[in-house]
Each structure stands twice: as structure tokens, then as C-alpha cells.
Amino acid sequence: LTLNHQQVIVEDILGQGGFAFVFLVRSFNQQRYALKRMYVNNQRDLHVFQREIAIVKEFSSHPNIVKYVDSYVHRLSPTNIQTRNYYTTRSTSDDNDDDAIYEILLLTEYCSNGALINRLNEQRNIGITLNEHQILRIFADICRSVSACHFRRPQPILHRDIKLENVLIDSRQNYVLCDFGSAIMLPPSTTNEHQQYQINQLTTTVIQQLEEEIQRYTTLCYRAPEMIDLYSRKPLTLKIDIWAMGCLLYKLMYNTMPFGDSVLAIQNGTFVIPDDMAQSYSRELNLLVRYLLEIDIGKRPDIWQVAYITYKLLGTECPIPNRCQSKIPNLSAVTMPLTDSESRQQRAAALSKTKLTSQNTTDESSTLGTAVNPRERPRGMIAPSTSLINFDQVSQRSSNIAAMLPTPASATRSESASKLMFDDDFSQIPSHAISLNNIPTAISSAKNDLLVSRARPSPPTTASPTPGHVLQQQQQPQQFFPPPPPHSSNTHRRSASQTTSSMQNQSSFHN
């Protein structure tokens, strides 16, 4: 392969990412390098990898950032791709063609000791864990590389993908940060765009683009809470890398991620210390993890505060300058994270307390009754009765057997109506009231006078009724409707003819 200044031969493949292959190559002077090879088919991805090349080239002299050697970017035509002639370029006038395919080659130093994650896995397999001094030594080198990015001016660099897989060990046993394909340059602090990122006043279109970039270029278990929900309008700052460093430190200590891939756990910031390793590290180191994994962005430290505590635990002076004039951190104000067993006991106690509170509430409700008064059954509107008969007075006189006298059919009807009232007062409904206008005019005037007199109230009498009167009242049928009109001669004639016809039918049946 030919780059701008180097010609190399591929010896082996070192790794494969989502968008690139990494090869072990050898130059003509027998020097080994790592070659990152990528293909893109749009201008946006092309700019992403051009930015990565520029960042690595800028920090080439830093001892804790992978060193830049050479690079090459060229445009391929469809004909050249089909013929496998990848290195024939087209004219520069076609560089703005969005349908073009580009090949990007980035040549960096080869870290012979491999990735940090591989070293840890090898030691874990043989039962070796890192002691506290080794962890602080690794973390101090990472602080130096991140501080170089965050303190860059005028535009600080946000890595966005700090993880163990992106930390290499060079031949001098330095821990170096690599893979700046996810890195972005934040706007200068004097621009309006910087203020928009600080208070997250981004438009919906920009938020959607950021969501796509986060899904594509970052790792879920290392993401900060403000990256999980961009619509929460939390500031997007350099402290995104601080959260990722907290996850990395936890992984160095306990060989597992603090939140796994749980989005809810990341947003809550809840993690525990494994019981089997609770005594492996000092209280101060665990407090440092808690300090880094702070949900509140305002309380989360910056890179100088993290480096200050790290070098203090190492017992050496912090070499990173305090360029932002940050306050000296105090771990005494940080809450110690719980162990796994303590967290389970706390949840069990909270659950039992909730059940006890619920039971007490139920007992109080059963003792005091419901706090809501029962609703009364609605009643109909009381309409004035058009009847001259007072059913209440008739009912009162009917209940007093000693005062019972022979009553006409109309009084019997009022008594039966009062017996049917139950809980509801049907006598107040006009449709059930019996008016004198409905009584046939054929009734004698004497009976009408008696009926009207019954409707007027009279004092109760103590006269005892004769047995005949009581028997007559019991045998008299209860009628709800007015009695039929008196029989006329036509009625007698019709009844006689019906009787004769009926007898003839019976005689013919017997015959």
C-alpha cells in the first residue's frame, strides 16, 4: 500500500470496528505500524475521518495519545472499484460529487503490548487482579490524554468514546488513548453556538442529527445520562468524557460495568460495589468513582479535579495545570456507594415499610369507614295533587281498627295505593292520584257525599266496630280502578241472552 510518504506491506489484521479495519503493516525499513483503513460514500463521513486525522496529527507529540505517522485520502471511481484498481484517482473537479467513494488510510505507531482490555482479560483468566496502585497509574495516564483534549484552545475536543478498548499500551509501558473517530471539536466559548450547547437550546433537527451520531459513534454502557435523552435539554459539555472515565475506572476495579446496558440505570446513576471485592480497594478510590458518576452535571468534576484526586491518591504532585481555575475537590462531601448486599437490604426494608404503611391505611379505612358520604337516591319532583282525597289521613284512619267503618270502593282504592308505596311516595306522582273527575257521573249523589266526607279529616272515634263490619271489610275486594257503571235494562237483556246461548252450547256438547 502506498501513502503520501510511506509504502507498507500488510502482515496481519489487528482488529475490526464498525467502519474500519486495522492492519499490522511493515515498511521497507522493517518498521512496524498500525494501519487503519476506511471507506466512505458521502461527504459527511469523509469529513469525520478527515477530522480524526487532523486531531491525531495535532497531538502526535503527546506521550499518552497515539502517534501519527502518515495518511492518505483519495477518491475512487466506480470503474476502478470494479476492476480492483483502488488507487486510480479522478480529477479534483469531481470532489463535490456525493455519489463518490473515498478510501482513507491512517498510519500510526504500533503499540506492541496491545490493548488494555486484552491485558486485563489475560490477567483475570489466571486469577490476577489489578491492585490500587496499578489502577491509579493507568488512570493517571488517561487523565493526561483527556486533559490535552479538553484544554485545547480555541476549540476543546470531546472524545465521546473513552473506553478500555480504546486504550493501548506502547513499548514504554505508557497508556495511550486512540480512536478519535468519534471525537468532535466543540464551538469556541465566545460563540453563540457554544452557548447553545451549554444550555442545550438546539433545534429538533440538530437533536435528531446528534442522536444518530451518538448511536453510531459511541458505546451505550459508557454514555452519560445527558446523551441518553437529548430532549431533556441537559447541557452537552466536556463532562460527557468525565462520566465515561468513571465507567472505565469502575471496569478497571471490578471487571464489570457499573450500569451494564440499562438505560434506566444510567439515568438514575445507581450502581453497587460487588460483595466479593468490597474490601479490595480503599474508600477514597470508591468515592472517586462515585464522584465521576454524578448525574448532576454541575456537581460532576472537570478533568483537572479528577487528575488532582488521582495524583493525590498516588502520592505525587498533579502535573496538569488548573486552566479553568476550578475549586479543589473534597471527597468528604461524596456519598459512599453501597455494596450489593447493602443495596438488597435497603430495598427489602423499603418494601416492608411500604407494605406496613399500606396495611395501616387499610385498617384505618375499615375502622373509620369511608371518607365519602354515600349518595342519596334521587327523588322525583313533588307535584301538587289534584285529588280531593288525602291518602295520608285515609291511611291513618285505616290503621286504627277501632275506628274502622264501612268504606266505599274509592276509600279502598286509596288504602291499597298507600300499601304499595313502600320506600317511595307514589302518592306524590300526579298520574297515580285519583280525581273525582274520573268517577262516573252515574254514581249516586249519596255515594259522592259519603266519598267527599271521607276526604275531610275527622277526629278518631273510639267506637268498636261490629264483627259484621270487620268481616265485610275483609271480604270486600280491593280495587284500583273505578267501579263499573250501574246495570241498565240493556245490560240485563244482554247478560240473559249470553247465559241462554251458553246453556244451549253446553246441551249440544252433551248430546
C-alpha to C-alpha distance for 89 and 102, rounded to whole angstroms: 10
Report CA-CA distances (Å) from 53 to 4, 40, 57, 69, 450.
Answer: 13, 15, 6, 10, 120
Pairing of strands 157-158, 175-177: unpaired
The residue annotated as part of the active site, out of 70, 141, 161, 241, is 161
Cα–chain center distance at 348: 23
The C-alpha cell at 385 is 295533587
Report CA-CA distances (Å) from 59 to 46, 138, 155.
Answer: 21, 19, 14
Cβ atoms of residues 100 and 181 within 8 Å: no
The C-alpha cell at 430 is 300526579
Report CA-CA distances (Å) from 331 to 90, 342, 450.
Answer: 60, 21, 106
Where does residue 20 fall: left (phi above 0), alpha (psi -120 to 50 degrees), or beta otherwise?
Answer: beta
User: Would you say how long the chain is, in residues?
Assistant: 511
Q: Helix, strand, or coil here: 14?
A: strand
Q: Which residues pair with 9 in a beta bridge?
A: 26
Was 36 annotated as part of a binding site? yes
Q: Which residues pair with 203 in a beta bridge?
A: none
Instruction: Please report, as a single letter, which amino acid is at residue 44.
Output: R
C-alpha to C-alpha distance for 15 and 22, rounded to whole angstroms: 5
Is 161 in the active site? Answer: yes
HSE of 342, CA atoms in CB hemisphere, 13 A? 11
- Give me the active site residues, please: 161
Annotated binding site for ATP: 36
